[in-house]
Amino acid sequence: GRLPAAAEVGGGMTLQDVLRCHWDASQMEQALQTARGTMAAAAGIEQGLESFMDAIDLAEFHAQQAGQDPRPAVQDLLQELQPSLSKHFDKLLREKNLDKLESLLGTIGAARVDALGLREAKQETNRLRSLMLLRAALLPLPEQSGFPSDRQLQVRNAIMNAKASRDRDTSGQAASALSALLLEELLPDCAAHSNQHFGWTLYAALEVRIPEPEVWQATRALLEQCAPSRREELMVYLPQLFKQWQWQRPMPEWLFDMLKSTYRLPADWDLTSMLRSENVLLAKTAVTDAAALLAFNLMLQRTALPDRRTRDRRGAVPRSYKVVRAVQVMNGRNWQSYLLRRDEILQECRRLRARCDDAHWRDNLNGEVMSMCIQDAMAALPGGSEPLQAEANEMWLLHGTSPDAADGITSEDFDMTRANPSGLFGAGVYFAESVSKSDEYVRGGRFGGQEVFPLLLCRVSLGYVYYCDDP
């Protein structure tokens, strides 16, 4: 309440300025005293901490107006508060009370986190929050089907949070925790639930920059533990993810090896082309080799029987046939199931001591199978490295059909539900050694401006042959 002495007024300051400085200095001291008075509550009650920080802010404001340095006094108060506040934070971290932790950190403010020794607590809070968001976004709900757009947005937001948490963490704990969550906890559950959950979990793992070798090692270990049918689904789905996410990274070599091993694919099949199909291992590749096309034409000539007319022939019997186009079909799933059944037939033939030699076919059956003249040419094509099993009476035989049916058979398989029950031997799949016989069942279609007729050249395991020359 006193007037300032003459010595206190000077340097361009007015009496009002001096009075203002004295008042600000007094307010600073009062705010510091208020902060000290709320310190006990600040360590455990959010409102107490808010009052403490408000008092510190007020003291710093008045100190600036008074031209004084409040830092020593503020630092003393913060150091005095630090032990009890750190203990409170440790308790909240153990409880994983993230809402309370984030609220307290917001009250403290980024500038004072280091001064209170809470940098690690803040990093741990951010880490726990990022893990919680990822878990909530990716963990399948009991009755959830598909992966709706709102969940996709939730995952992307969680990824952004996780990347920020990882970037701010200098200890490496965030990276380790993300790896454990995504690869050890979530990936098995998501893979068991659906392809989409599996895919989004892998996407998240790569987006938060878990090293690729670590991601693919975990994926491989998971696939090896899956039931065979689920493993096959996921293996075929994996390459689709590279297209879906437009990943500019090569697929791991072990995936190619695992696919080839699981489906028992011939070593020279073009697996890269097969993986371009949607959710199936399928490629239909035009045969351009001149020698192979010539062999196909020769087979048509050698197996044609223009002078024989059989029960299903309508119209005239063609005198000759010509190959217009040849397409090799590589269908991984069909190949796998075919080999499985062929091997069973092989064992049955061995048990029954079924004859398969040329002499038996020549003397006791219908003679050597005409369509087998193509055998050497087929062996030269990709996939020809898988030899025919003579003991299972495995042959190359012909099947005539319509264009739509040919596309369906080569894309899927023979549909036994559509087999004609009025066939000579009932419902079943019928093959022939002669193009003239198969030609009875073809239907024409347009290709390249001309009418063509589809003819399938198929591997067929005849097994123990029952021969009937007068049905």
For the residues of 140-151, what is the DSSP string, one character each?
PPTT--S--HHH
Shared-domain flag, residues 363 and 228: no
3-state secondary structure of 237: helix
What does the pLDDT look like over 75-88, one tens digit per residue? 999 999 999 999 99
Nearby residues of 447 by Cβ (< 8 Å), 6 or more positions away = 324, 325
CA distance 218 to 380: 39
Residues 99 and 170 in one domain: no
Q: How far apart are CA 114 and CA 236, in angstroms?
A: 50
At 461, which helix (H) or strand (E)?
Answer: strand 455-461
Task: Look at residue 466 and tell me if it is in a domain.
Answer: no
Based on the domain organization, do 327 and 456 belong to the same domain?
A: yes
- Both 66 and 168 in one domain: the answer is no
Domain assignment present for residue 471? The answer is no
pLDDT of 5 higher than 60: no
CA dihedral 184, 187, 191, 195 (to 10 degrees): -170
Cα separation, 349 vs 343, whole angstroms = 10
104-111: Cβ within 8 A, 24+ apart = 104/46, 104/49, 107/46, 107/49, 107/50, 107/53, 108/49, 108/53, 109/53
**Pair (176, 256) in one structural domain:** yes
49 compared with 145, residue with greater pLDDT: 49
Burial class (CB in 10 A: 0-12, 13-18, 19+), 232: buried
Indicate whether 213 and 298 sit together in one domain: no
In the structure encoding, which two tokens stand for residue 103, read together? 């609220």
318 with 250, same domain: the answer is no
Quick one: pLDDT at residue 46? Answer: 80
Count the neighbouring beta carbons within 10 Å of the beta carbon of residue 448.
7
Residue 467 lies in a domain: no
Residue linked to tokens 């049905």: 471
**Domain assignment present for 164:** yes
Mean pLDDT, rounded, for 112-126:
91
Compute the distance between CA of residue 19 and CA of residue 242 in angstroms, rounded to an integer.
Answer: 73
pTM of the model: 0.69
pLDDT value of residue 8:
55
Contacts of 43-50 spanning 24+ positions with Cβ under 8 A: 43/81, 43/84, 43/85, 43/87, 43/88, 44/84, 44/88, 46/100, 46/103, 46/104, 46/107, 49/85, 49/104, 49/107, 49/108, 50/107
Chain mean pLDDT for the chain: 89
Shared domain for 326 and 433, answered yes or no, is yes
Note whether 406 and 286 are same-domain residues.
Answer: yes
| Phi, psi angle pair for 87, to nearest 5° | -65, -40
Is residue 124 a part of any domain in this protein? no
Q: Which two tokens stand for residue 363?
A: 């003397």
With beta carbons less than 8 A apart as the criterion, state whether 125 and 95 touch.
no
| pLDDT the model gives residue 7 | 52
CA 232 to CA 159: how far, in whole Å?
29
Q: For residue 50, what pLDDT band results from cuts at 50, 70 and 90? A: very high
User: Are 286 and 185 in a shared domain?
Assistant: no
Structure-derived torsion over alpha carbons of residues 81, 83, 85, 90, reported in degrees to the nearest 10: 170
Q: Is residue 158 predicted with pLDDT exceeding 70?
A: yes
For residue 261, pLDDT beyond 70? yes
Tell me the per-residue pLDDT of 169-224, one tens digit each, with 9 for 90 and over.
888 889 999 999 999 999 999 999 999 999 999 999 999 999 999 999 999 999 99
Roughly how many angstroms between the first and final C-alpha of the chain, as a whole number? 129
> Does one domain contain both 80 and 189?
no
In this structure, the answer to whether residues 294 and 436 fall within a common structural domain is yes
| CB under 8 A, 24+ apart: contacts of 341-344 | 341/461, 342/389, 342/392, 342/394, 342/461
What does the pLDDT average to over 23-48?
A: 90
- In terms of residue numbers, what domain contains 219? 148-263
E-strand ranges in 259-376 read 282-286, 327-331
Close Cβ partners of 31 (under 8 Å, ≥ 6 residues apart)? 55, 56, 58, 59, 62
**Which CATH number does the domain housing residue 430 bear?**
3.90.228.10
Q: Is residue 268 part of a domain?
A: no
- Residues 369-422: tens digit of each pLDDT: 999 999 989 888 877 778 899 999 999 999 999 999 999 988 888 766 566 676
How many structural domains does the chain have?
Answer: 3
